[in-house]
Amino acid sequence: MSEPILQARAAQLDAEDGLAKLRERFTLPEGVVYLDGNSLGALGAGVPDAVADVVRRQWGELLIRSWDESRWWTAPERIGDRIAPLIGAAPGQVTVGDSTSVNLFKALVGAARLAAPGRTRMLVDATTFPTDGYIAASAARMTGLELVPVDPADAAGAFTADTAVVLLNHVDYRTGRLHDLPALTAAAHAAGALIVWDLCHSAGALPVGLDAHEVDLAVGCTYKYLNGGPGSPAYIYVAQRHQDAFDSPLPGWNGHAEPFAMTPDYTPAQGAARTRVGTPDILSMLALESALDAWEGVEIEAVRAKSLALTDFFLECVAAYVPQGKVEAVTPAEHGRRGSQVSLRTDNAREVMAELISRGVVGDFRAPDVLRFGFTPLYVGFADAERAARTLGHIFG
């Protein structure tokens, strides 16, 4: 299909896009196509003023009074309840704080302590982001479990009576492959195991349905599709049915039932608050709270529909613009197996991405040969997808 036809189609799709006005809720560099929101989301338009208020008034004027008067103390649960609808969770099950790695450690050790006695294995996604693997290995050593890597595509067959805990990624960070959360969760439960999901590359891009599918525990970051900012705090989900028995391996004072009693013995707080550890990072926490304003009135199902349309159109444009044989899509074509990114394999991928960025199309590179393009439907449009593919074609032309 010719360039004018694809550009006209992109313009028509943008005109029909019901989420197009959401772009106004973000601050983006002029003339740049930003397709790296799967690594760092864009700046919310209201975040600078919100952070300035936290720094100048809440901290600068109110000082320590802000723990109560500015509601700093309740921020981890309050913001968790704002994230909850985006991952299909009822209130009271999500707490914001710490990093994804720290929360994953809590979740895995906590899940192992919840598991039925006599189980000996912890299964982990063999293709996982490396840190998840490191954390899982440490958690397995601590809890006396054997760590067993599995391919998520074949994982259900590996769930046995010896399986205590399963850790899987909802979307593969390198390929963008979407794994079957409902079916794999059900299979883990059928084997009597608990399952922990890493939602870093799905939350804010597609429906998750933690409660509907009876997930046990989940963790995720907030700086990708949730646009919380660099290093913004992560979150942990503990299903309500597990909260009373959840035994965190990091029992900090913030998770104590009476944190200001300063008692030598630890009594965990009720509910998801028991996952808290130390003093929250308030500046990042409240920047995230402001960033979540971009989700007001947005249905995650509409976001998913646009995500699929964007990635379909991008793949169509790549096929039209890039000479045959120069790139290979490693992201599944099927909608049910695709997240919100497209990964293309090519020679000299690092150099190709550097050239794309120099021409105003920002994606990223994963060793050894993968170009990643993340599509954040809140601010990416169809003209962006067409320009990115056209620029890629010019590089190979």
Q: Which residues are known catalytic residues?
A: 129, 198, 223-224, 372
C-alpha distances (whole Å) from 291 to each of 89, 174, 216, 393 are: 19, 26, 27, 34
Interatomic CA distance for residues 135 and 150, integer angstroms: 16
Q: Where are the alpha helices (DSSP H) in the chain?
A: 3-16, 47-53, 66-69, 75-83, 100-114, 130-143, 181-190, 240-243, 282-291, 300-321, 349-358, 382-396
Q: Are 201 and 224 in contact (CB under 8 A)?
A: yes
Q: Are 342 and 314 in contact (CB under 8 A)?
A: yes
How is residue 359 written in tokens?
A: 């021409």
Interatomic CA distance for residues 281 and 41, integer angstroms: 19
Q: Are 199 and 220 in contact (CB under 8 A)?
A: yes
How is residue 280 written in tokens?
A: 């929250």
Backbone angles phi, psi at 246, to 5 degrees: -65, 120
Interatomic CA distance for residues 60 and 100, integer angstroms: 30
How is residue 244 written in tokens?
A: 């009373």
Q: Are 282 and 75 in contact (CB under 8 A)?
A: yes
